[in-house]
Structures are given as structure tokens and as C-alpha cells.
Copies of this chain bind each other. A is one copy, B any other.
Amino acid sequence: MRTVAVRKIDRAAPTVVDALGKSGVATVHEAQGRTGLMQSYMRPIYSGARISGSAVTALVHPGDNWMMHVVGELCQPGDIVVVGLSSPNTDGMFGDLLATSFMARGIRGLIIDAGCRDVRDLKEMGFPVWSKAVSAKGTVKATVGAANVPIVCAGLLVNPGDVVVADDDGVVVVPRLDAETTLAAAQAREANEEDKRKRLASGELGLDLYKMREPLAKAGLVYVDSAKDLDEA
């Protein structure tokens, strides 16, 4: 591993980043062809938050959160810190002091493939974190990693400047250069869903709305009246 910190990264346009956040994780994930999701073990430390931002990345070692201070300086308001580990770990690498510093710099949240602590304080402060675990296990500051290099977080490759969207459904990452296209697809999807929602709410069946009856029959689905017919069939 090269122990390096990259100062400048390219980011997507702030309006695009913010608009992706409004769409939410599930819609953005669909909009980019069902790709870009982190594994589902990444959970928010409290429910209800939804953020988007540009990824500032850190590659850190198990039980060592020294690089967290390095990435703080590299961030702009609107960024999200995304942390990958050099090997699996659940130690509590982030707490209320770091969060105070991050909030002061306009950082919107943290995505960390390890543990988080001080979760009661973080909830009160309103600083959202998605993590693999909650753990009070403290860390040292002994070994340097890297900042703003490509990392693997929760099974997903994240490049600095990629757009991160996170909410109660998990975390999705949009490659920086795909951000506009993905946003357009997401918004088209939402427009399309609005009408469907009304029709479904009025009791219309998805079978009819999506014209599924014929394809289902072709795919082999057979209806019988009761289990008795099943035995006779």
C-alpha cells in the first residue's frame, strides 16, 4: 500500500449530487442498472437520515483511526467520508469528537466498513453514520494508510469523487462521470412511479397495471381453484 494522501479530487456538480440524494438509495440503484450497492450489512446507526455527497476516501488499518484526521482536512462542505479497511475489523473507529470536527467542516456523514461508537451522541448531534458494527472498542494512531485513493468498502470499489447516497435502505455509489446520466434515469423513474402509485392505491392490481397476466401464463403459471384440484392435476 502506498502511504499517500491526495489533496485534490474531481467532484460531480453539487446540484446533481443533491438531486441524487433526494431520489434515495433504492431509486438510484435501479437507475444505474441495479449496480453500485454496498453489501447489506452496512446499516445506519439511527434511522431516518438520508444524505448524498462526494466521496473522500480513506484506507485504514484495523484498530487504527489515524487517517480519519487526515481525511478531515481533505474534505469540502458537502463531502462524505468513505472508509475501507486493509483487513476485516469491527472496532469503534469513529466517535463524537471526530464527528464534532467533521460537522464543523461541513462533512455530511460517514460510511465505514468497521465499527462506530458514541452512537447516542451522534444521534443527538445529527451526524449520520453507516457502519458494519457498533462497538466501543477504541483504536490507536500508529500506522498510516492512504487518503483519496480507490478503496474497497463493503464489497464495493469506491473512487474519490464518486457520488454516495445513503439512507435507511443502505448505501449506493455512483461513479462520478455517470452522475448526470444516473440522475436523469432516476428522475424519469420517479415520474413514472407517481402515476403507478395512484393506480395501485386505488386498488388496481399490478397484474393488470403491468399487463403481467399473459407473460405469467407463457412462463408457465397455472391457476387452480383449490388445493384439491392440485392433487387431481
Contact = CB atoms under 8 A, between A and B. Distances in A.
Q: Which of A29, A169, A223 has the most CB of B within 10 A?
A: A169
Contacts of A203: 104-105
Interface string A196-217: 1100111111110010100010
Interface string A124-162: 000000000111111001111000111010011100100
A123 B48 CA distance: 10
A226 interface: yes
Interface of A: 1-9, 24-26, 29-30, 33-35, 37, 39-40, 43, 46-48, 50, 62-63, 66, 68-70, 72-73, 86-88, 90-92, 95-98, 100-101, 103-105, 115, 117-120, 123, 133-138, 141-144, 148-150, 152, 155-157, 160, 167-170, 172, 193, 196-197, 200-207, 210, 212, 216, 219-227, 229-230, 233
